[in-house]
Amino acid sequence: MTGALRLVLGDQLSPSLSSLRDLDPATDVVLIVEVWDEATYVRHHPKKIAFLFSAMRHFADDLRAVGVVVDYVTLDDPGNTGDFAGELGRAVARHDVSRVVVTEPGEWRVRTMMDGWGHALALPVEIRDDDRFLCSRADFASWADGRKQLRMEWFYREMRQRTGLLMVDGEPAGGRWNYDQDNRKPPASGLDGPGPRRFAPDVLTEDVLDLVADRFADHFGELRPFWFAVTRTDALAALDHFVREALPSFGDYQDAMVDGDDWLFHSALSQYLNCGLLLPLEVCEAAERAWRDGRAPLNAVEGFVRQIIGWREYVRGVYWRAMPDYAAGNALGAERPLPPFYWTGETPMNCLAKVIDQTRREAHSHHIQRLMITGNFALLAGIRPAEVCDWYLAVYADAYEWVELPNTLGMALYGDGGLMASKPYAASGAYVDRMSNFCKSCRFDVKQKNGPDACPFNYLYWNFMLENQEALARNPRVQPILRTLAKMSDEKKAAVRHDSERFLATLSPAASHAA
């Protein structure tokens, strides 16, 4: 009897994956492929490529250990065609299979590729739902249908009821759905988080690191030191470490930024969740247990659970509902090219330089750094959303378009005109100063509003409002800001424009090369 060829993609490394569910070890073959096109459709950070290749190889070994036949194609296989379709074609020729089974991919780009596979292979291709997510695409569509705005908070409350997480007798634990007002503390002096659990690379990972060093040396980012978990067992240990060491303070310092502490109390679990080594429900249940056992306070656990069953599920729903047009969104008509310093980190603005440096070293920065430093700058400076999105997709180990695009284009850049965010996340230097210690060692003065020594976020903020006042005029949440703008003197407006033009002129690639 002929079997099924079950293709598992690099971000589908879960034993419970829908495409593996009815696998018959006697007849079926699992195909896993390292392909050039996936590693370069954006120039991914070397740590991300090494992480996925090593996790894919370990996953293959784990399947083999339970008797599954795995056909694993390495990047340096001499016959490697470099893409999914080519590798499927070769595998169909190698094996006695009569159909292909795959779980739907995370990206629209790959989903459209899949449409052509059946014809090209002359075999039926079954595409199954990705039920590792807690809200299916169909369920999200039913929730969203007929709503003018897709506010996360309402979606989140339904997800709490549906999962039963942090629910007591049908009511939200503690009587409130959302404990954000207890969170968002500025960083206390000397604040120091435990950092994520780190793992020494094994022999298999070392092989991958050599391969990646050889083939992707020209990509942005440092490959070593490499400490990510690459197996489910180690990812579970990383989860356990987070719950014990960091979760209790997660809520309090969720929005804080500290120069010199890359992680604070964040989990650093997103890359494991997004490639399937961890599942969202088990992560939330581990956090909930810590609250029920008195090991972590409710504000921390609720805040953490909200990020996963709320934000994570919600952005995925928005992505699939709004694609493919969503990717071209540019509601504010931002047309400035991405400044070269996003790749070099060479900028006199300390906050940007530090976040980009961390990104280069770790392929990670935390949410507020992404939203309020690199994202806020791109918003205020009017950088083309497509270029900003490509940057975020390339530089973070957890980046896949389904999660990166809504966060960048929708949340950070307001490129979808407010589908996701009720107002642009624009902030001046005062926010950065309140929530971080970056300003203390910056060449610019955050207290100065104008002039060559003023923090550029200060005048760029008002310049953004001046440039976009018509586009934002009907947004009720921006009204108070626009009323302040209307009262601003002409001299002050002229100074804002002058400082902004002067500063923005230094960002062009030509100006950077000249410098």
Interacting residues toward ligand DLZ by CB under 6 A: 9-11, 33-35, 38-39, 44, 49, 52, 105-107, 110, 400
Q: Does the protein bind ligand FAD through residue 315 (CB under 6 A)?
A: yes
As measured in angstroms, the least distance from the Cβ of 230 to ligand FAD is: 16
Q: Which is nearer to ligand FAD, 100 or 286 (CB)?
A: 286
As measured in angstroms, the least distance from the Cβ of 458 to ligand DLZ is: 38
Q: Which is nearer to ligand FAD, 352 or 403 (CB)?
A: 403
| AA letter at 88 | L
Q: Which is nearer to ligand DLZ, 38 or 262 (CB)?
A: 38
Q: Quote the CA–CA distance of 321 and 136 in Å, as a whole number.
A: 11
Q: Quote the CA–CA distance of 9 and 17 in Å, as a whole number.
A: 11
Phi (first) and psi of residue 145, to 5 degrees: -55, 130
Q: Which is nearer to ligand DLZ, 54 or 376 (CB)?
A: 54
As measured in angstroms, the least distance from the Cβ of 274 to ligand DLZ is: 9
Please, which residues bridge with residue 97 across strands? 3
Q: Which of 403, 420, 460, 504 binds ligand FAD (CB under 6 A)?
A: 403
Sheet holding 69-73, edge to edge: 69-73, 29-33, 3-7, 97-103, 125-128
Question: Which positions from 382 through 401 interact with ligand FAD, judged by CB under 6 A?
Answer: 392, 396, 398-399
DSSP 363-407: S---HHIIIIIIIHHHHHHTB-HHHHHHHHHHH-TT--HHHHHII
In degrees, rounded to 5, the angle at the alpha carbon of residue 383 between the alpha carbons of residues 112 and 346 is 110
In degrees, rounded to 5, the angle at the alpha carbon of residue 257 between the alpha carbons of residues 313 and 350 is 120
Q: Which residues of 124-133 are buried (b: 16+ CB within 10 A; e: fewer)?
A: ebebeebebb
Tell me, residue by residue from 72 to 111, as one string, x for binding to ligand FAD by CB under 6 A and - for no binding. Answer: ----------------------------------------
* Contacted by 454, from ligand FAD, ligand DLZ, none: CB < 5 to 8 Å by type: none
Q: Which is nearer to ligand FAD, 255 or 433 (CB)?
A: 255
As measured in angstroms, the least distance from the Cβ of 254 to ligand FAD is: 7
Tell me, residue by residue from 262 to 281, as one string, x for binding to ligand FAD by CB under 6 A and - for no binding. Answer: ----xxxxx--xx-------
Q: Quote the CA–CA distance of 205 and 400 in Å, as a whole number.
A: 22
Tell me, residue by residue from 338 to 367, as one string, x for binding to ligand FAD by CB under 6 A and - for no binding. Answer: ----------------------------xx
Q: Which is nearer to ligand DLZ, 73 or 421 (CB)?
A: 73
Q: Does the protein bind ligand FAD through residue 184 (CB under 6 A)?
A: no
Q: Which is nearer to ligand DLZ, 13 or 286 (CB)?
A: 13
Helix or strand holding residue 70 (H, E): strand 69-73
* Contacted by 302, from ligand FAD, ligand DLZ, none: CB < 5 to 8 Å by type: none
* Contacted by 392, from ligand DLZ, ligand FAD, none: CB < 5 to 8 Å by type: ligand FAD
As measured in angstroms, the least distance from the Cβ of 137 to ligand DLZ is: 14
Q: Does the protein bind ligand FAD through residue 50 (CB under 6 A)?
A: no
Stretch that binds ligand FAD, among 39-47, 290-298, 305-313, 351-359 (CB under 6 A): 305-313
As measured in angstroms, the least distance from the Cβ of 201 to ligand FAD is: 21
* Contacted by 19, from ligand FAD, ligand DLZ, none: CB < 5 to 8 Å by type: none
Which pair of structure tokens corresponds to residue 362? 């770790």
As measured in angstroms, the least distance from the Cβ of 347 to ligand FAD is: 18
Q: Which residues of 315-324 are buried (b: 16+ CB within 10 A; e: fewer)?
A: bbbbbbbbbe
CA-only gyration radius of the chain, Å: 24
* Contacted by 312, from ligand FAD, ligand DLZ, none: CB < 5 to 8 Å by type: ligand FAD
Evaluate whether 483 touches 344 at the Cβ level (below 8 Å): no
Q: Quote the CA–CA distance of 18 and 9 in Å, as a whole number.
A: 12
Q: Name 345's Cβ contacts closer than 8 Å, sequence gap at least 6.
A: 352, 353, 356, 357, 360
Q: Does the protein bind ligand FAD through residue 428 (CB under 6 A)?
A: no
Q: Name 401's Cβ contacts closer than 8 Å, sequence gap at least 6.
A: 106, 107, 108, 109, 319, 327, 393
CB-facing half-sphere around the CA of 262: CA atoms within 13 A: 15
CB-count burial class (<10 Å; 0-12, 13-18, 19+) for 514: exposed
Stretch that binds ligand FAD, among 63-71, 101-109, 306-314, 318-326 (CB under 6 A): 306-314
Q: Which is nearer to ligand DLZ, 17 or 380 (CB)?
A: 17
As measured in angstroms, the least distance from the Cβ of 400 to ligand FAD is: 6
Q: Which of 235, 279, 308, 363 binds ligand FAD (CB under 6 A)?
A: 308
Give pairs for 53-56: CB < 8 Å, separation 24+.
53/10, 53/208, 53/211, 53/212, 54/201, 54/204, 54/205, 54/208, 54/209, 54/230, 55/10, 55/13, 55/230, 55/231, 55/275, 55/277, 56/10, 56/13, 56/32
Q: What is the DSSP letter of 7?
A: E
Q: Which is nearer to ligand FAD, 176 or 367 (CB)?
A: 367
Identify the CA nearest to 193 among candidates 127, 248, 139, 246: 246
Q: Which is nearer to ligand DLZ, 38 or 467 (CB)?
A: 38
Which pair of structure tokens corresponds to residue 211? 């391969």
- Write out the residues near ligand FAD by the rule CB under 6 A: 266-270, 273-274, 304, 307-308, 311-312, 315, 366-367, 370-371, 375, 392, 396, 398-399, 403-404, 407-408, 411-412
